[in-house]
Amino acid sequence: MQVRAPAKINLSLKILGQRADGFHEIETLIAPISLHDEIEIERRSSGGGIELRCDEPTVPQGDENLVVRAAKAFFAKTKRKSDVSIELRKKIPGGAGLGGGSSDAASTLLALNELFETKLSRETLAEIAARIGSDVPFFIFQSAALCKGRGEVVSPIKLHKQFSILPLKPDFGVPTAWAYSRWQHSREIPGIHYGAQKFAGHTFVNDLERPVFEKFIFLAQLKMWLLKQPEVSAALMSGSGSTVFAVLHENADPLLLATRAKAELDPELWSCVYETR
């Protein structure tokens, strides 16, 4: 069985405070985008448990990989024999704030549920997903959604419109836990726009920009550069970064914008052109 694991962007991310369990209470509007990893899962009769192969050598193996953790959690829940071969082909960059690992885990749960005909509800799968990671339940519902709590309370919604998105990522990542840990005592950089941006009925804002920009100044510069470009309706960091994405006007040429960004800012920028789903 082959499945696609979509990336995501946070159209908004508000931090409401720190919780007693060490996590942060958030409210975030998340949308899947057409960038995706590919996962192939096969049942095996020869035994051997869960075997994972990945074409990206930097991806962790064993229990450190969310795909393996998702598969183990599924088999523990269903009491099925855990003999599967999983091949993961990565297209979503890591440390980018695009949810690649979380999406891979959720897509594995969905695929195993279908492959083994266990008929677990999405709500049950989301409960399993919440024990794997805060972003994982979002991907179970395969829809844009408003997520609350630490991210595990998911309310699917329909976006007012689909957006053409240009994500730009430098050659470094940002650890999510680090970004949240710095939020409370971080400060704004003078001259950088952190306020809400309004476009097409949506409000674009990300409270994690404050701690992340304080350390990774280039991301603040990238956002401000994008906001000055004629093709751009809004620009925002996704999740904890390091991706900053531009929401493009209709008929804008994203390839021209990406080429200009690489020429003027950083020739090593990773870029792609995708749409919200």
Query: What pLDDT digit, counting tens, does each position of 166-183 carry?
Result: 999 999 999 999 999 999
- Cβ-based neighbours of 267, under 8 Å, separated by 6 or more: none
Judgement on whether residues 168 and 144 belong to the same structural domain of the protein: no
| The predicted structure's pLDDT at residue 52 | 95
Same domain, 152 and 188: no
Task: Report the CATH number at residue 51.
Answer: 3.30.230.10
Q: What is the pLDDT of residue 247?
A: 96
Please report which residue ranges of 202-275 form alpha helices under DSSP H.
209-215, 217-227, 254-264
pTM: 0.94
Q: How far apart are CA 97 and CA 223, in angstroms?
A: 15
Annotated catalytic residue within 8, 90, 169, 223: 8
Structural domain ending residue among the three candidates 127, 156, 185: 156
Considering the domain architecture, whether residues 71 and 114 belong to the same structural domain is answered as yes
Same domain, 248 and 265: yes
72: annotated active-site residue = no
Both ends of the chain: CA-CA distance in Å?
A: 23
Give residue-wise pLDDT tens across range 221-259.
Answer: 999 999 999 999 999 999 999 999 999 998 899 999 999
Q: 3-state DSSP call for residue 266?
A: coil
- Same domain for 204 and 147: no
Q: Can you give the pLDDT at residue 161?
A: 84
Indicate if 184 and 82 belong to the same structural domain: no
What are the E-state strand segments in 120-238?
A: 145-148, 153-156, 164-169, 197-199, 202-206, 232-237
Q: Token pair 């401000």 is at which residue?
A: 224
Q: Are residues 171 and 146 in the same domain?
A: no
Give the end of a domain, one of 107, 135, 156.
156
Residues 12 and 58 in one domain: yes
Which of 111, 134, 156 terminates a domain? The answer is 156
Contact residues for 247 (Cβ-Cβ < 8 A; gap 6+):
163, 164, 165, 199, 204, 232, 233, 234, 235, 236
CATH number at residue 252: 3.30.70.890
Q: Which of helix, strand or coil describes residue 168?
A: strand
Q: Which of 60, 69, 38, 56 is nearest to 136 (CA)?
A: 69
Range of the domain at 146: 2-156
Active-site residue flag, 135: yes
Give the length of the chain: 277
- Give residue 249's pLDDT: 92
d(CA 165, CA 249): 10
pLDDT at 179: 96
Instruction: Exactly one of 90, 135, 207, 223 is catalytic; name it.
Output: 135
Question: Does residue 133 sit in the same domain as residue 173?
Answer: no
Do 252 and 168 belong to one domain? yes
Task: Determine contact, residues 106/129, Cβ cutoff 8 Å.
Answer: yes
Do 208 and 240 share a structural domain?
yes
Radius of gyration of the chain (CA): 19
The sign of the dihedral angle between the CA atoms of 46, 48, 50, 54 is: negative
Pick out the chain residues at pLDDT < 50: none
| Residue 168 sits in the same domain as residue 197 | yes
